[in-house]
Amino acid sequence: MLLEDLIKTFIASLKIQKGYSIHTVRSYQNDLNQFLKFLGSEIGELEDKKASLKADMVDRLVIRKYLGSLYGHLTRTTIARKLSAIRSFFLFLEKSGVIGVNPASDILTPRLGKYIPSYLSVDEVFRLLERPEKQKPLGLRDLAILEVLYSCGLRVSELESMNISNIDFEERLVKIIGKGNKERIVPIGRQALDAVMAYMDATQGLRKDSGTESPDTPLFINFRGGRLSSRSIARIMKRYAKESGLTPDISPHSMRHTFATHLLNGGADLRSVQEFLGHVSLSTTQKYTHVSLDRLMEVYDRAHPRSRLE
């Protein structure tokens, strides 16, 4: 079986057996197709070089050569992700009996720098939330997007996939379908809920015309009535960040970091924040604790007997 076909089988298994989200599957597919293209230039023999490639033609040396070609062009984090995709693919082939040994198993992951999430201060968030024009339907939509991101700490893919039925307006709860199709319930703040209701009221006509007014239709829609994409949400975020005089690096994920940071600074425990964010491992959530260091030092200096000066 050709390598190109094996990749298609692997990708199908991620969708069906693993239940990975469309964004994760797309990422695996892009990474493996890029690797396949590299292999075609390195060891392919036919005019359509990918058509000649088989799994047993790939060894650890060619994988290392591929990773080496990425340095200087991509970050270490991105290279580590691409290696992870290759390693997972060949592990799948090994478990399926297609190959005897995973050629990527003993290749070391690039050493990663300590990742410190970007986040906004409370004042910066408030400044951002003041930018959308509340007199216009699109402004109300954008305000609702920003409010929900900050109130619930969602991934942009989770926000994109939200339907009207995901929100329990009476109980102030939101049902989220996260990574691996795992479901979690998170609270939503009153101001975010008010922003969503104002947005829905302003778009009743558009929803009726486009047939997106039932509870099982998208919550956030574009001007044609279709589901708003993650890319569009990111553009909206960057536009308001620029207008607010904030760094252009601000993204929807920055609001997720901000949500976690402000909860921890407000006294929330790490386990609760883990549940809100939908992290499987507590260690993933712990990367946010650095931002509370100043607050912790204040508490320490105020409370510890050997820290206070006489």
Active-site annotation, residues: 155, 179, 253, 256, 279, 288
For the chain, list the strands marked E by DSSP.
Answer: 167-168, 173-177, 183-187
Cα 74 from Cα 60, distance rounded (Å): 20
Confirm if 221 and 163 have CB atoms less than 8 A apart: no
Q: In whole angstroms, give the CA distance from residue 198 to residue 138.
A: 11
Strand partners, 187: 173
Distance CA 235, CA 238 (A): 5
Q: What are the residue ranges of helices labelled H in 153-216?
A: 156-160, 190-202, 204-210
Contacts of 174 (CB under 8 A, 6+ apart): 148, 152, 162, 166, 167, 168, 185, 186, 187, 188
Strand partners, 2: 54
User: According to the 3-state scheme, what is the secondary structure of 226-274?
Assistant: CECCHHHHHHHHHHHHHHCCCCCCCCHHHHHHHHHHHHHHCCCCHHHHH
**CA 126 – CA 120 distance, rounded (Å):** 10
Backbone angles phi, psi at 183, to 5 degrees: -95, 140
* Cα dihedral 296/299/302/306 (nearest 10): -60
Please return the burial class of 309, using the count of CB atoms within 10 Å of its CB with bins 0-12, 13-18 and 19+.
exposed
